Structure 1
Amino acid sequence: MTGKKSTAKLHHYVPQAYLRGFATNKERIRVIPLDRSRQPYTPSVKNVAAQNQFHAVGEFEEPDAFEKALSEVEGQALGIIRGFADGEFPPSEENRWAFAHYTALQSVRGPDTRRTTEHLRATMVRLEMGTGGRKNVSAWIRDNLRFDPTPEQEARIWDEATQPGGPPIGFSNLAHIQNAVKTAIELTPYLATRPWALVRFDRRSLITSDAPVSLVRRPNAKSWEGVGFATAWGVTFPLTRKLGLLMSDPMAMLEGVGAGDSRVQQLREMVLAGRIDQIQSGTTAMEKLFNQHTAEAAREYVFHHPEDERFVPADLPEPDLINIKPVGGLVDVDFDGEPLFAPDRDNPQHEESLPNRFD
């Protein structure tokens, strides 16, 4: 019987090679924990933005397979960044798509995406079971968990599901990887088809974080409106401490033009060909735009070169691994066991079934 190959212990969710762009020649980088009870420190990049076995997949013959696939994507992307630094900009269309995919993958591969997905799933399970009521728990378990529960199991699952925050749902490494890859593929076109501006800094510097891809809201957006890759005014990505990439809104050039207008397709072709891309000199305003959004998007840590402390915004956020929080009247309601909307699942007259969130 052939045993599985051994895996690397520490897996990075922000690449070491990328972090070197913000580190000293000896690969030391300054880490600022968003947890105010912890002090900043200056470790090696190999010990930053990493977790034990974060990408290990026991279901694979080679548990490190995804980690190795990532290294190929990262290697290509870091080669493109080096090309940018050497003046190879705008990129070829092939490199544009490759780097857009790397950026999309970087935006969804971290522990914040995993924790957010678990949180959203737990919230949905809590709402399903709570609105159905205590007497429908048995039917819900049969539909979703595929077994006939004992009274003790019903009571335990009801209590866990309806507690604040919902039940303790955890995603496996494989489920997280599958979700990240699928989401990155879906997001890539929203990045490749934006005009890119490569911003070079001389006197000023950029910081980065454990979630370095940031969304910039539209100037006229309401405070309650969300922001996504399709609706953002811009997307910032600090590439090194002296180089940043700003992906702006292409439709700003076609204000009032409908999506079906031929000019939209023409603009898309121009963007993909790099004909709207530009290189800019880094100003104080641009440095603040990048660094403020990088800090706001950070989940647990901000990173910077040890000499760049003065460029770190003073108002850093609190740590938070959940980047999407459901809102609405039912999210925080205390369920008392009575059904809110769902009919009695044990009643023979019932014909509808609750959505199966586990399929």
Structure 2
Amino acid sequence: MINRMASGNTSKLHHYVPQGYLRGFATDQNRISVRPLDQSRKPFISNTRNIAAQSHFHTLNDALEPDGFEKNLSELEGQAVGIIRRLIDGELPISEEDRYALSYFIALQSVRGPETRRTIDQLQAHIVRAEVGMGGRENVSRWVKKRLGFEPTVEQAERIWEEATQPGGPPIKLSNRRQIEHMVNTAQEITQYIFMRPWSIVHFKRRALLASDAPVTLVPHEDEEPWMGVGFQTAWGITFPLSRRCGLLMSDPIPMIRDFSEEHVDRLRQGIIEGKADRIQAGSTALERFFNHNTIYNAREYIYFHPDDEAFVPVDLPEPELTSLKADIFSDLEFDGTPMFKDAAASNPSRSRIK
């Protein structure tokens, strides 16, 4: 899915929320309202082609066709948008193939935004800071030789020490290829936790749903504390607004199978795959607020909505959240240059114990 042969014009502006999806929240002329979470910035109306996009976001300069991944992604998005439109039109259940295709699209959407890339870069920076700092100033050259493959000069080693041990770690920005590989691999792993959930298609007549730059939201169980976190496997539910008038809620299958025999569980799982646990339901004010609350509080920088749906955007919005988790590993440690490991382990601190 990553490499592709050259085939003509190269696209430059790459969307991390697909245009075809955003059109479900726009006017017939593809006009859509944008509300920044940073309330010092003014709301505006734009065209769907100009939002949720960055220049060369998926460009692979070392590939046969630099924008080949973007084009492959566009094909997948087109298929998924077609399935979404059929769900909106009332087609349920859908085929197992279509269910998997849409599940994979949703999984990709959950990990493809700029916040995921920032999180990975920050996590890598914190890991490097911990490895270099705990190894001590005297072992920087050995760390560079092992991790980067070259013998640094005294000046290079000192500069690496200063950059690596500064608050937040060194400035790291992984390549598009590594970021895309992470996105694809992660999406493949979590697709099953979307595919294997009962789906509810919720239709609204008067109420309206919002979208965001991170529209896939994990809903925790009511009895879980905020510090516990939530994942695709453990979430009570997953919300994904399909359009301004339709939402998809993927619920936890565990209550359905908890008290049954293994043979019965296998039949239930097959029934879920075949869509026998799926349903269509009418929207309500409570469900509209449920969807929109989750969408808003999972947004990173922007909320998107139809220009006629301003009334469904609350006055008080959360602050922007530019990463998907707090990547602050060992951030409270300070390094004075003294190794924190035994000499025998100094060259590989990541496998050592802190003394």
TM-score range, shorter chain: over 0.9
Matches within 5 A, 1:132-147: 132-147=135-150
2:126/2:328 contact within 8 Å kept:
no
Matched, 1:244 2:243: no
Pick aligned residue for 1:158 from 152, 158, 161: 161
Corresponding residue of 2:348:
353
Q: Structure 1 unaligned runs (5+)?
A: none
Corresponding residue of 1:298:
299
1:7/1:56 contact within 8 Å kept:
no
Matched, 1:30 2:25: no
Corresponding residue of 2:230:
227
Matched, 1:103 2:106: yes
> Residue by residue, what CA displacement relative to the aligned partner does 1:229-266 show, whole Å, maximum 9, x if unpaired?
11110000001000100000000223466xx8333322
Instruction: Give percent identity, aligned residues only.
Output: 53
1:164/1:332 contact within 8 Å kept:
no
- Structure 1 residues 351 and 154, CA, compared in 2 at 3 Å: closer, same or farther? closer
Q: Partners of 1:295 and 1:204 in 2: how far apart?
A: 16
RMSD of equivalent CA atoms: 1.9
Q: Partners of 2:265 and 2:164 in 1: how far apart?
A: 47
Matches within 5 A, 1:12-31: 12-31=15-34
Q: Partners of 2:292 and 2:240 in 1: how far apart?
A: 10
Give the TM-score taking structure 2 as reference length. 0.93
Matches within 5 A, 1:257-268: 261-268=262-269
Q: Partners of 2:115 and 2:336 in 1: how far apart?
A: 32
Deviation of 1:4 (Å): 9.1
Matches within 5 A, 1:84-99: 84-99=87-102
2:167/2:331 contact within 8 Å kept:
no
Corresponding residue of 2:3:
none
Corresponding residue of 1:316:
317
Matched AA of 1:187: I
Give the TM-score taking structure 1 as reference length. 0.92
Corresponding residue of 1:60:
63
Q: Partners of 1:102 and 1:46 in 2: how far apart?
A: 19
Matches within 5 A, 1:205-224: 205-224=208-227
- Structure 1 residues 343 and 47, CA, compared in 2 at 3 Å: closer, same or farther? same
Q: Partners of 1:350 and 1:75 in 2: how far apart?
A: 52
Name the stretch that deviates more: 262-271 or 209-218: 262-271
Corresponding residue of 1:203:
206
Q: Structure 2 unaligned runs (5+)?
A: 1-5
1:217/1:227 contact within 8 Å kept:
yes
2:220/2:235 contact within 8 Å kept:
yes
1:6/1:63 contact within 8 Å kept:
no
Deviation of 1:355 (Å): 4.2
Q: Partners of 1:246 and 1:204 in 2: how far apart?
A: 16
> Residue by residue, what CA displacement relative to the aligned partner does 1:267-324 show, whole Å, maximum 9, x if unpaired?
2111101111011111111111110110111111110111111112333222222111
- Structure 1 residues 161 and 262, CA, compared in 2 at 3 Å: closer, same or farther? farther
Q: Partners of 1:352 and 1:308 in 2: how far apart?
A: 59
Q: Partners of 1:92 and 1:57 in 2: how far apart?
A: 34
